[in-house]
Structure 1
Amino acid sequence: MKSSDTKIVLLIVITILIYSCNTVKRVPDGKSLLVNTEIIVDGKASNQESVNEILIQKPNSRILKIPLSLLVYNLAQPNPDSVFKARFIEDSVRFKRIKRLISEKQVYRLGESFFYQGFNNFLKSSGEAPEIVDDEKTKKSTQRLYNYYFNNGYFDVETSSKTDSVGFKRAKTTYEVSLGKPYIIDSIKTAISSPDVDSLYQVAKSNSAIKSGEQFKSENFSEERNRLTSFFRNRGVYQFQQNYINFDIDTIGTGKKPNITIEITDFNYRKGDTIVTVPFEIFTISEVNIFTDSPSSKNKIKVADSISYKGFNLYSTDKIKYKPKAITDAVFITKGNVYADYQNTLTNRYLSNLKVFNYPTIQYIEDERDTISNSLIANIYLNPRKKYSFLAAVDFTHSNIQDFGISGNTSLTIRNVFNGAETFEFAVKGTVGSSRDLAGSNDNFFNISEVGVDAKLNFPRIFFPFNTDKIIPKSMIPSTNFGVGFAKQKNIGLDKENFTSSLTYNWNPKRFNTVRFDLFNIQYVKNLRIDRYFDVYRSSYNALNTIAEVYSNQVNPDYFDPNNNLIIESGTNGFLNDVLGPDPSIVTTNEDFRSVRGIDERKKRLTENNLIVASSYSYTKSTKTSLLLNNFYILKAKVESAGNLLSLLSRTINEPLISEGSSTFFDVEYSQYIKTEFEFIKHWDLKRNRVFATRTFAGVAIPYGNSNNIPFSRSYFAGGTNDNRAWRPYSLGPGSSGALNDFNEANLKLALNAEYRFKLFGNFRGAFFADLGNIWNFLDNVTLEGAKFTGIASLKDIALGTGIGTRYDFSFFVVRFDLGFKTYNPANEENRRWMKDFNFKSSVLNIGINYPF
Structure 2
Amino acid sequence: MKTRIFTGIMLLLLILMAACSTTSRLGEEEILYTGVKKIEITGVDSLEVPGNVKSAIKAPLLVKPNNSFLGAYWRTPFPIGLWVYNHMKPKKDKGFKHWFYEKFAKEPILISGVKPEVRVKVVDDILANYGYFGAHCQYELVYSKKNRKMAKIRYWVEVPTPSFYDSIEFPTPVTPLTELIDSLSKKSLIRKGAQYNLDTLSAERTRITTVARNKGYYYFRPEYIEYLADTTQKPKTVSLRMVLGKGIPAPALNAYKVGNVDVSLSSATGKGQIDSLFYKDLTVVYQKPMHLRKFVLPANITLKPGNIYSVEQQNLTQTNLSKLNIFRYVNLDVTPLDSLKGKDSLDVSIDAAFDVPLESEFEVDVSSKSNSFIGPQITFGVSKKNLFGAGEILAVKLNGSYEWQTGKKPAGAKSSLLNSYEFGLNGTLSFPRVLIPYKMQRKKNRRYPARTYFQLGADLMNRPHFFRMIQFNLSMNYDFQSSPYSFHTVTPVKLIYNKLLNTTSSFDNTLNENPAIALSFRNQFIPTVGYTYTFDRSFGRNGNNRIFWQTSATSAGNILAGIMDLAGKKGEKELFGNQFSQFIKGSTEFKYYRRLWGDNWLATRFLIGAGHAYGNSKVMPYSEQFYIGGANSIRAFTIRSLGPGSYRPPVNDPNGYFDQTGNFKLEANAEFRFKIIGGLHGAVFLDAGNIWLLQKDPKRPGGELQMKTFAKDIALGTGFGLRYDISYLVLRADLGIGIHSPYPNPEKSGYYNMSNFKNSLGFHLAIGYPF
* Class of the TM-score when normalised by the shorter of the 2 chains: 0.7 to 0.9
Residue of structure 1 equivalent to 2:633:
723
| Partners of 1:753 and 1:772 within 8 A in 2 | yes
Give deviations 1:87-131, integer Å, cap 9, x for gaps. xxxxxxxxxxxxxxxxxxxxx98x26xxx566665545xxx7654
> Is 2:197 the partner of 1:217?
yes
Give deviations 1:626-661, integer Å, cap 9, x for gaps. 998431211111111001233246567888x9xxx6
> Is 2:674 the partner of 1:755?
no
| Deviation at residue 504 of structure 1 after TM alignment | 0.5
CA distance in 2, matches of 1:191, 1:491: 74
Structure 2: which amino acid aligns with 1:154? Y
| Deviation at residue 391 of structure 1 after TM alignment | 0.9
CA distance in 2, matches of 1:152, 1:402: 50
For residue 52 of structure 1, the aligned residue among 52, 58, 72 is: 58
The 3-state SS of whatever aligns with 1:349 is helix
CA distance in 2, matches of 1:385, 1:627: 38
| Partners of 1:186 and 1:213 within 8 A in 2 | yes
Give deviations 1:789-825, integer Å, cap 9, x for gaps. 1346434301111122222334444333222111111
The 1:237–1:490 alpha-carbon spacing in structure 2 relative to 1, beyond 3 Å, is: same
Structure 2: which amino acid aligns with 1:289? D
Structure 2: which amino acid aligns with 1:162? E
Structure 1: which amino acid aligns with 2:487? T
CA distance in 2, matches of 1:432, 1:686: 39
For residue 529 of structure 1, the aligned residue among 485, 498, 502 is: 502
Residue of structure 2 equivalent to 1:503:
476
Identity percentage of aligned residues: 24
- Structure with higher Rg: it is 1
- Please give the residue correspondences for 1:48-127 in structure 2 after superposition, counting only pairs within 5 Å: 48-55=54-61, 57-59=63-65, 61-62=68-69, 67-68=75-76, 71=79, 73=81, 82=90, 111=95, 123=104
| Partners of 2:549 and 2:589 within 8 A in 1 | yes
| Partners of 1:266 and 1:278 within 8 A in 2 | no
> Is 2:750 the partner of 1:836?
no
- Please give the residue correspondences for 1:253-652 in structure 2 after superposition, counting only pairs within 5 Å: 253-265=233-245, 268-269=248-249, 277=250, 280-293=253-266, 304-365=274-335, 373-395=343-365, 407-431=377-401, 450-470=422-442, 474-489=446-461, 492=464, 493-530=466-503, 532=504, 534=506, 599-602=513-516, 604-605=518-519, 607-624=521-538, 629-648=543-562
| Deviation at residue 293 of structure 1 after TM alignment | 2.8
| Deviation at residue 680 of structure 1 after TM alignment | 1.1
> Is 2:145 the partner of 1:138?
no
| Partners of 1:702 and 1:780 within 8 A in 2 | no
CA distance in 2, matches of 1:348, 1:158: 50
For residue 798 of structure 1, the aligned residue among 706, 711, 714 is: 714
Structure 2: which amino acid aligns with 1:507? F
| Partners of 1:57 and 1:138 within 8 A in 2 | no
Give deviations 1:182-226, integer Å, cap 9, x for gaps. 333222223468712111112211232332222322222222222
| Deviation at residue 426 of structure 1 after TM alignment | 0.7
CA distance in 2, matches of 1:165, 1:783: 71
| Partners of 2:267 and 2:290 within 8 A in 1 | no
| Partners of 1:367 and 1:377 within 8 A in 2 | no
| Deviation at residue 776 of structure 1 after TM alignment | 0.9
The 3-state SS of whatever aligns with 2:436 is coil
| Deviation at residue 669 of structure 1 after TM alignment | 1.6
Segments of 5+ residues of structure 2 without an aligned counterpart are: 406-416, 651-655
The 3-state SS of whatever aligns with 2:676 is strand
Residue of structure 1 equivalent to 2:681:
765
The 1:19–1:390 alpha-carbon spacing in structure 2 relative to 1, beyond 3 Å, is: farther
Residue of structure 2 equivalent to 1:150:
128
Q: Which has the higher strand share?
A: 2
Figure out how many residues of one structure are paired with residues of the other and give that number. Answer: 731
| Partners of 1:823 and 1:837 within 8 A in 2 | no
The 1:294–1:344 alpha-carbon spacing in structure 2 relative to 1, beyond 3 Å, is: farther
The 1:725–1:404 alpha-carbon spacing in structure 2 relative to 1, beyond 3 Å, is: closer
CA distance in 1, matches of 2:574, 2:628: 31
CA distance in 2, matches of 1:683, 1:231: 32
The normalised TM-score by structure 1 is 0.77
Residue of structure 2 equivalent to 1:704:
614
| Deviation at residue 673 of structure 1 after TM alignment | 0.2
The 3-state SS of whatever aligns with 1:342 is helix
CA distance in 1, matches of 2:258, 2:152: 63
The 1:803–1:473 alpha-carbon spacing in structure 2 relative to 1, beyond 3 Å, is: farther
For residue 190 of structure 1, the aligned residue among 141, 149, 170 is: 170
CA distance in 1, matches of 2:534, 2:206: 28
Structure 2: which amino acid aligns with 1:198? T
CA distance in 2, matches of 1:434, 1:135: 54
The 3-state SS of whatever aligns with 2:115 is helix
Structure 1: which amino acid aligns with 2:514? D
CA distance in 2, matches of 1:314, 1:627: 44
For residue 225 of structure 2, the aligned residue among 242, 245, 250 is: 245
Residue of structure 2 equivalent to 1:689:
599
| Deviation at residue 344 of structure 1 after TM alignment | 2.5
Structure 1: which amino acid aligns with 2:614? Y
**Worse-superposed segment, 53-62 or 22-31:** 22-31
Structure 2: which amino acid aligns with 1:485? G
Structure 2: which amino acid aligns with 1:223? A
The normalised TM-score by structure 2 is 0.84
The 1:327–1:216 alpha-carbon spacing in structure 2 relative to 1, beyond 3 Å, is: same
| Partners of 1:185 and 1:214 within 8 A in 2 | yes
Residue of structure 2 equivalent to 1:230:
210
CA distance in 1, matches of 2:217, 2:673: 45
Give deviations 1:703-731, integer Å, cap 9, x for gaps. 01011111111111101122111111222
The 3-state SS of whatever aligns with 1:754 is strand
| Partners of 1:366 and 1:374 within 8 A in 2 | no
Residue of structure 2 equivalent to 1:788:
704
The 1:306–1:646 alpha-carbon spacing in structure 2 relative to 1, beyond 3 Å, is: same
Residue of structure 2 equivalent to 1:588:
none
CA distance in 1, matches of 2:582, 2:172: 66
CA distance in 2, matches of 1:780, 1:351: 56
The 3-state SS of whatever aligns with 1:221 is helix
Residue of structure 2 equivalent to 1:101:
none
| Partners of 1:732 and 1:739 within 8 A in 2 | no
RMSD: 4.1
| Deviation at residue 167 of structure 1 after TM alignment | 2.8
| Partners of 1:426 and 1:456 within 8 A in 2 | yes
Residue of structure 1 equivalent to 2:657:
742
| Partners of 2:120 and 2:137 within 8 A in 1 | yes
Residue of structure 2 equivalent to 1:274:
none
Segments of 5+ residues of structure 1 without an aligned counterpart are: 1-6, 86-107, 270-276, 436-444, 538-568, 573-595
**Worse-superposed segment, 318-327 or 507-516:** 318-327
Structure 2: which amino acid aligns with 1:409? T
The 3-state SS of whatever aligns with 2:749 is helix
For residue 809 of structure 1, the aligned residue among 725, 734, 738 is: 725
| Deviation at residue 422 of structure 1 after TM alignment | 0.4
CA distance in 2, matches of 1:397, 1:306: 49
CA distance in 2, matches of 1:23, 1:761: 25
Give deviations 1:596-625, integer Å, cap 9, x for gaps. 898332552354213111000111112137
Structure 2: which amino acid aligns with 1:825? S
The 1:478–1:243 alpha-carbon spacing in structure 2 relative to 1, beyond 3 Å, is: same
Give deviations 1:397-429, integer Å, cap 9, x for gaps. 899999997642210011000111101101112
